[in-house]
Structure 1
Amino acid sequence: MKPRVYTNQLKAMQNESTGNLQVQVVSKNGMRPIENATIKLSSPSDPSKVLEELKTNSVGQTDIIDLKAPPVEYSLAPSTEQPYSEYDVEISAPDFEPITINGIEILAGQIALQNASLIPLSDKAEPGSYVIGPHTLFGDYPPKIAEAEIKPPKDTGEIVLDKVVVPEYVIVHDGPPTDKTAQNYYVKYKDYIKNVASSEIYSTWPQSTIEANIYAIMSFTLNRVFTEWYRNKGYNFTITSSTAFDHKWIPNRNIFENISVTVDTIFTSYLSRPNVKQPILTQYCDGNRVQCPNWMTKWRMHM
């Protein structure tokens, strides 16, 4: 994984643009909104300096604030310049364990949404700390290992489902399939898609490009669900967060408002072939760092 380096970010700030951030805070027990939670925002380059201090309202949300971001042009074509700025937050509330989230990504002209779930002190949990890794279009991640886009029954074992079902939840294994130390997360299907899309494409892209990429992500995910791909191999999860096998998913990462709205609109859709019941395992690469003939590429769909 590429280390966090801020030279490009500071250079970009000389040609200043702005993006936006809103934080939503709830209790992990019952998902109840937490009013008057405190959010302290800082820059990774100077974590001791509080840039903004926010409070949540009666529905657990902060105001939408403006933050510095690199020029939008950096995210519209492959570039060596980091196209997003990064911010860290400390979130606390009375009677709850505090959490920190490092590396919130802010893109020019876009509203970033950061959701946070706090654990009550009565649960005697440790304070949470999360780091959002580099975006897949800027960081270094393993390329996808090629697979057949349609899975024959002989490869998957007995296909359990007799029709395509959009699940309420998926179980995400946060690492390669064979990593027994990696944690499993129960994630709402729509939240999973929003997280992956925010990790793999830029929300600054045209709406038609965002939709095309989300269709590909959903079709791939539903293929894993329909074929019970990992369960038929003896694993207890639906999908992984490894780019070598599946898509990049990052615990507690921020998403982007326009991506969230798009997923809410088209989340029941997927791609398939004529006379083929299962969704296509729609594999792709970035088309810049990694070339993948005969596959879709994220930049080509954009350009």
Structure 2
Amino acid sequence: MNEMNPNLPDTPDKGRLKISITSEVTAYPVNDATISISYTGVPDSQLEQLNTDASGQTDTVELAAPPLEYSLNPAIEEQPYAEYTLQVDAPGFEPISIAGAEILPDVTALQNIQLRPLTDPENAENVFVIPAHTLYGVYPPKIPEEEIKPVDESGEIVLSRVVVPEYIVVHDGSPRDTTAQNYYVKYKDYIKNVASSEIYATWPEDTIRANVLAIMSFTLNRVYTEWYRNQGYDFTITSSTAFDHKWIPERNFFDTISAIVDELFSNYLSRPNVRQPILTQYCDGRRVQCPNWMTQWGSKSLGDQGYSPIEILRYYYGDDMYINTAEAVSGIPSSWPGYNLEIGASGDKVLQMQEQLNVIAGAYPAIPKITADGVYGPATEAAVRKFQSVFGLPETGIVDYRTWYKISEIYVGVSRIAELQ
């Protein structure tokens, strides 16, 4: 790989990067952090220096990226993303360096960083190196498993219903690697991370939806069957492609993938008369072939042809595959009311949402505080619109499904210490 100089012919396109920084302890935004951006191959080549605002966010910056075609054509062997190094410093926090942040053309990379408060000034910075994308690098293929786990053995199934967990515990290595670290990861962030690591965010939206549904169903099967805990392990899933999915600490995800996960996060795949989410396995379809499983490049081709997400999934897994919705989402104060909240709405759900927004406004001063009166008026609409702007949602001023759950997620984060005891 050359040094990704913007004057060289292999980075003619532009991608975008937006960085959001919060405190690991309080989940509050970190104001006035400094981020230096350089080419990963040329660490002294500072290209940009950004600062976070009161919401802990930087402006969106354009960065050079390889041609779009590289991520759309399986026959092209060139690396389809550019790699940048982010050096983050903030007063009172441990510095962090992330090498290999991926920038794809035509999409926005979202880099969320949690900083640890500085306890020992002698501490060296935390350094993360992002390995190659699974469609570009070489990773072990998935070891085949039965897609439906036996349920007649005592203690095999612990959950009586499918619940979307708030956090999952990811073992960053193969199951038996006792040196690998366990990470507590928000479920939605885990799915966004895996999808960004395993497919390209430049692909058709319905291809992304099909792949996200497969990743979520596989993950919820691990949760529902307590697969690893029943083998004596203390984690939910691993980051090994041989056993589970590729999950990478501190990697960025992409706006196209993030929006789709926010839209679909309570869904999974099921077959008739089977209570557990289906363990939907897949492979890339270029380096590795896998009959009866979805292939990622194949799903891209079907998406190009206009197949819907369920049509893509049935093409590979059969016609008796269905999209189902989990009965509960854990870690939220109250579930989605089932209809949009907008001007003219009133009642308990509006009141609860207003109260949550006011707590969030205490941490994010860009969001105006409002009178919590249970009536959705112009001031509430303006506060919702600002919330959507800060958290990357369409700025409609209407609390739809995605906005409701994002308000819940941020409220829970800032209203309790985010340390998992």
TM-score over 0.5 (shorter chain) = yes
Larger relative contact order (CA 8 Å, sep ≥ 6) = 1
Task: State the SS of the aligned residue for 1:40.
Answer: strand
Superposed displacement of residue 45, structure 1? 2.0
- Range with greater deviation from structure 2 (261-270 or 41-50): 41-50
2:90 is matched with which residue? 93
**What is the identity, as a one-letter code, of the residue corresponding to 1:297?**
T
Task: State the SS of the aligned residue for 2:119.
Answer: helix
Superposed displacement of residue 10, structure 1? 5.9
**What is the identity, as a one-letter code, of the residue corresponding to 2:274?**
V
Higher relative strand content: 1
2:130 corresponds to 1:116: no
Which of 39, 59, 64 is matched with 1:63 structurally? 59
Q: Deviations over 1:88-143 (max 9, x none)?
A: 01000111110000000000001001111111113666521101110000000000
1:43 is matched with which residue? 39
For structure 1, the 5+ residue unaligned runs are 1-5
2:46 corresponds to 1:80: no
How far apart in 1 are the matches of 2:95 and 2:78?
Answer: 33
Q: Deviations over 1:214-255 (max 9, x none)?
A: 000000000000000000000000000000000000000000
1:286 is matched with which residue? 284
2:24 is matched with which residue? 28
Superposed displacement of residue 282, structure 1? 0.1
1:234 is matched with which residue? 232
Which of 112, 132, 135 is matched with 2:133 structurally? 135
Which of 149, 170, 192 is matched with 2:190 structurally? 192
| Aligned residues of 2:107 and 2:202 also touching (Cα < 8 A) | yes
**What is the identity, as a one-letter code, of the residue corresponding to 1:195?**
N
Superposed displacement of residue 7, structure 1? 3.1
- Residues 1:157 and 1:92: Cα distance change in structure 2 (over 3 Å): same
Superposed displacement of residue 12, structure 1? 10
TM-score normalised to structure 2 length? 0.69
**What is the identity, as a one-letter code, of the residue corresponding to 1:146?**
P
How far apart in 2 are the matches of 1:156 and 1:293?
Answer: 32
Which of 88, 97, 102 is matched with 2:99 structurally? 102
How far apart in 2 are the matches of 1:48 and 1:127?
Answer: 17
Structure number, greater radius of gyration = 2
1:14 is matched with which residue? 9
Task: State the SS of the aligned residue for 1:251.
Answer: coil
Superposed displacement of residue 196, structure 1? 0.3
For structure 2, the 5+ residue unaligned runs are 302-421
Q: Deviations over 1:63-84 (max 9, x none)?
A: 0000000010000021210000
Q: Deviations over 1:199-222 (max 9, x none)?
A: 000000000000000000000000
**What is the identity, as a one-letter code, of the residue corresponding to 1:92?**
D
Task: State the SS of the aligned residue for 2:15.
Answer: strand
1:276 is matched with which residue? 274
TM-score normalised to structure 1 length? 0.95
Superposed displacement of residue 26, structure 1? 1.2
How far apart in 2 are the matches of 1:224 and 1:183?
Answer: 19
After superposition, the CA RMSD in angstroms is 1.6
Count of residue pairs brought into register by the alignment: 298
How far apart in 2 are the matches of 1:12 and 1:156?
Answer: 63
**What is the identity, as a one-letter code, of the residue corresponding to 1:67?**
L
Superposed displacement of residue 25, structure 1? 1.1
| Aligned residues of 1:12 and 1:70 also touching (Cα < 8 A) | no
Superposed displacement of residue 167, structure 1? 0.5
Task: State the SS of the aligned residue for 2:86.
Answer: strand
**What is the identity, as a one-letter code, of the residue corresponding to 1:117?**
Q
1:263 is matched with which residue? 261
